[in-house]
């Protein structure tokens, strides 16, 4: 994942290598977009937050949409990569379910608030943005479906549907947990929440027999 780093200790006006400058601009833009949303955010705000002139910002990104998509692309890559690592972390399927659910909760709970750009974007009618957001569901579901298909006798279409359902459960519950921490879920920790949801998911998906399990006559 491309790392964003807004170094407050670095003097303004210092010339940075292009890669470092890009990361700095993305970090500043992420903060502004999360705080204000896409439509309310202005390139002036982002340049000021990064401590650069607007022409410098435009040298790296031709417009606000391109800047937003660059952040969104990195955010989507992070979620998909976390899902992949969770699935590869163990061969125990019950633990896989728990790790995958937790991957979504960990991302949503990250202090950057980047999840809002993926799951709560105010630009979902923009085809390019919609494509990025859908990619999270599709690619995470593909990873999960591959595991389900390998371990059970379910056909690909059924494996895919179950995988999409698991991704949806993880996404929606994690967002609800995060946005409702000042309400009824204030006393529910991340560990408690993921234990509840992964337990629910495992009771469902765990009911499908493994390929090498003996069948009852």
Average pLDDT, the chain: 85
Q: Would you state the structure tokens that stand for residue 181, as one six-digit string?
A: 């921490």
pLDDT of residue 13: 52
Residue the block writes with tokens 């659910």: 101
Task: Please say whether the beta carbons of 25 and 63 come within 8 A.
Answer: no
165-215 per-position pLDDT tens digit: 999 999 999 988 887 655 445 578 889 999 999 999 999 988 887 766 544
Q: What is the mean pLDDT of residues 31-47?
A: 92
Sorted by sequence, the CB contacts under 8 Å of residue 102 that are 6+ apart come out as 86, 190, 194, 198
Q: Identify the helix (H) or strand (E) that includes residue 163.
A: helix 156-179
pLDDT of residue 77: 92
Is residue 9's pLDDT more than 60? no
Of 24 and 123, which is predicted with more confidence?
Answer: 24
Residues present in the chain in total = 217
Give me the residues paired with residue 152 across strands: 210
Distance CA(217)–CA(215), nearest Å, equals: 6
Of 210 and 59, which is predicted with more confidence?
Answer: 59
Q: Would you state the structure tokens that stand for residue 65, as one six-digit string?
A: 């949409």
Is residue 48's pLDDT more than 90? yes
């Amino acid at each position: 994942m491309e790392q964003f780093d807004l170094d407050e200790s670095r003097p303004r006006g210092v010339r940075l290598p292009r890669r470092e400058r890009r990361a700095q601009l993305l970090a500043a833009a992420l903060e502004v977009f999360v705080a204000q949303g896409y439509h309310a955010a202005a390139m002036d705000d982002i340049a000021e937050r990064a401590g650069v002139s607007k022409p410098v910002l435009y040298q790296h990104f031709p417009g606000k949409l391109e800047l937003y998509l660059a952040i969104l692309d990195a955010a989507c890559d992070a979620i998909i990569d976390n899902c992949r690592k969770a699935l590869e972390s163990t061969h125990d399927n019950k633990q896989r379910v728990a790790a995958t659910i937790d991957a979504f909760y960990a991302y949503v709970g990250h202090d950057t608030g980047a999840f809002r750009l993926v799951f709560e974007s105010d630009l979902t009618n923009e085809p390019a943005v919609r494509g990025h957001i859908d990619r999270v569901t599709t690619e995470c579901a593909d990873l999960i479906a591959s595991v389900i298909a390998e371990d059970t006798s379910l056909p690909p279409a059924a494996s895919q549907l179950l995988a999409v359902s698991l991704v949806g459960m993880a996404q929606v519950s994690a967002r609800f947990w995060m946005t409702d921490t000042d309400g009824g879920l204030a006393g529910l920790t991340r560990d408690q929440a993921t234990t509840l949801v992964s337990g629910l998911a495992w009771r469902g998906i765990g009911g499908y027999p493994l390929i090498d399990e003996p069948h009852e006559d």
